[in-house]
């Protein structure tokens, strides 16, 4: 794919879009068929993924366009049911590419395993004993999963904390040990769980306490990905709103979310509107990513915005995001689900680190799309116009009637199911 900029993609038929992708990415017959096959994820395959399977559940599967990240073009698969998200992310990506694109990086890529120890005769002494035997514990953990060591990964560090030491309750006093593992391109949940379970007896012997929980943490604050964009005001001009006016409106909206948790929840939900669809499309655990992101938004004791928006000395709008990304490109559903494998191929992702950077860039774009709409015409104008097709279908429209009814709903500014039913009856007369 020479460019993620595909003018008119929205106006193409589904068949035309697939044909374009087939040529651009030299897709195989099987890959192309998976896009048109409602049973790409067969019931038999699904039955081996989870329990009590009765079928499969589908989501709309679209492409975020126009993304330029660290100088590389990306067409980004997104699986989501909510109208306007893909369009909004693509619109902002087009603006940002004109400003030079997104700049992203990953600071580290270490996942965390936890071991909880209770009943220690002396918690501080137990802590010191673990630290003294740190190298032994790290090697034992590596020995439990030698294949990751052979691939260049493995345990990189270990630390320990004592929680609630002065609490009167014996249930709340505990020692918690962390191991930090380079999981290479895997998310690493099973790997880390194996490691902490294997060294639990050694930890019990060292601490003279009893080990209870031995499990990974989805708060992956040692696996952070960041994205940044810098946008000149003239690129933000919208209708009658000057670029500087839009810029200032975005910053005011951000400050609201940074100050008020009631606003921050909705603000951050909009960010996850961009992140979750990419995580889902690539077969990753969107619940883990969601939980980690929201925890990170409250890391300073106050739940606030996952993004920051400001004005630099030249008057440009500057957006930044930093979030934990517990994702992988191998293992789990990433290579089992046919469309997850397809998604990674289309993005031409080479590592989990690269995927994490793409994901946060999409989240930043989606956030700006929402804030820009709020700062100008309001969120409903664009969202409801795109939502009108779903409303038309809910009102009974089928086939070519869908576009006709959707257009009438927008023109009459009554985008509701009751009105759609009324228009459908009129159309049939």
Which residue in 31, 73, 285, 341 is the catalytic one? Answer: 285
Which residue in 82, 143, 197, 414 is the catalytic one? Answer: 82
Beta strands, E only, 41-110: 61-69, 72-79, 103-106
Residue 138 has a CB neighbour count (10 Å cut-off) of: 20
**Contact criterion met (CB below 8 Å) for 229 and 360:** no
Instruction: Report how far residue 275's alpha carbon sits from residue 365's, in angstroms, rounded to the nearest whole number.
Output: 10
Instruction: Return the bridge partners of 78, or none.
Output: 62
Q: Which residues neighbour 420 within 8 Å (Cβ) at sequence distance 6 or greater?
A: 391, 392, 394, 395, 396, 397, 405, 409
199: left (phi over 0), alpha (psi -120 to 50) or beta: alpha
Instruction: Report how far residue 211's alpha carbon sits from residue 209's, in angstroms, rounded to the nearest whole number.
Output: 7
Is 269 known to be catalytic?
Answer: yes
Is 82 known to be catalytic?
Answer: yes
**H or E stretch including 142?**
helix 134-144
**Contact criterion met (CB below 8 Å) for 382 and 110:** no
Look-up: residue for tokens 């606030």? 304
- Rounded to 5 degrees, what angle do the CA atoms 92, 93, 99 make? 95
Please return the burial class of 429, using the count of CB atoms within 10 Å of its CB with bins 0-12, 13-18 and 19+: exposed
**Contact criterion met (CB below 8 Å) for 382 and 88:** yes
Classify 175 as helix, strand or coil.
Answer: strand
Instruction: Report how far residue 307's alpha carbon sits from residue 92's, in angstroms, rounded to the nearest whole number.
Output: 15
Cα-based distances in Å from 168 to 208, 272, 297, 326, 373: 20, 40, 31, 36, 52
Distance in angstroms between the alpha carbons of the first and the last residue of the chain: 48
Which residue in 252, 269, 302, 381 is the catalytic one? Answer: 269
Structure-token pair, residue 259: 């100050």
Q: Which of 241, 239, 251 is nearest to 316 (CA)?
A: 251
Residues annotated as catalytic are 82, 269, 285, 383
């Amino acid at each position: 794919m020479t460019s993620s900029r595909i003018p008119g993609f929205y106006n193409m038929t589904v068949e035309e879009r697939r044909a374009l992708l087939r040529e651009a990415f030299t897709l195989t017959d099987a890959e192309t068929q998976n896009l048109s096959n409602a049973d790409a994820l067969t019931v038999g395959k699904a039955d081996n993924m989870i329990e009590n399977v009765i079928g499969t559940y589908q989501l709309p599967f679209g492409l975020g366009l126009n993304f330029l990240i660290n100088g590389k073009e990306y067409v980004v698969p997104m699986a989501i049911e909510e109208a306007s998200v893909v369009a909004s992310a693509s619109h902002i990506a087009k603006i940002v590419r004109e400003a030079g694109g997104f700049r992203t990086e990953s600071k580290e890529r270490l996942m965390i395993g936890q071991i909880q120890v209770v009943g220690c005769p002396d918690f501080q002494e137990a802590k010191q004993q673990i630290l003294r035997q740190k190298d032994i514990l790290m090697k034992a953990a590596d020995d439990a999963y030698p294949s990751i060591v052979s691939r260049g990964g493995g345990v990189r560090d270990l630390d320990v904390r004592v929680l609630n030491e002065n609490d009167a309750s014996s249930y709340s006093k505990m020692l918690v040990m962390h191991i930090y593992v380079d999981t290479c391109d895997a998310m690493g949940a099973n790997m880390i769980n194996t490691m902490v379970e294997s060294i639990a007896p050694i930890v019990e012997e060292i601490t003279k306490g009893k080990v209870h929980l031995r499990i990974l943490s989805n708060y992956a604050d040692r696996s952070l990905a960041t994205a940044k964009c810098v946008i000149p005001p003239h690129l933000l001009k919208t209708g009658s709103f000057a670029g500087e006016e839009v810029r200032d409106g975005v910053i005011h909206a951000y400050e609201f979310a940074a100050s008020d948790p009631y606003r921050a929840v909705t603000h951050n939900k909009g960010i996850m509107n961009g992140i979750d669809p990419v995580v889902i499309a690539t077969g990753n655990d969107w619940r883990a990513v969601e939980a980690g992101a929201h925890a990170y938004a409250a890391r300073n004791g106050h739940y606030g915005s996952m993004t920051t928006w400001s004005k630099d000395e030249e008057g440009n709008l500057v957006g930044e995001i930093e979030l934990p990304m517990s994702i992988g490109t191998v293992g789990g559903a990433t290579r089992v689900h046919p469309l997850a494998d397809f998604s990674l191929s289309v993005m031409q992702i080479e590592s989990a680190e690269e995927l994490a950077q793409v994901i946060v860039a999409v989240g930043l774009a989606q956030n700006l799309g929402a804030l820009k709409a709020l700062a100008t015409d309001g969120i409903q104008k664009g969202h409801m116009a795109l939502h009108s097709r779903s409303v038309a279908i809910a009102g009974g429209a089928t086939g070519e009637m869908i576009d006709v009814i959707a257009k009438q709903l927008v023109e009459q500014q009554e985008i509701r199911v009751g009105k759609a039913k009324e228009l459908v009856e009129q159309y049939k007369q």
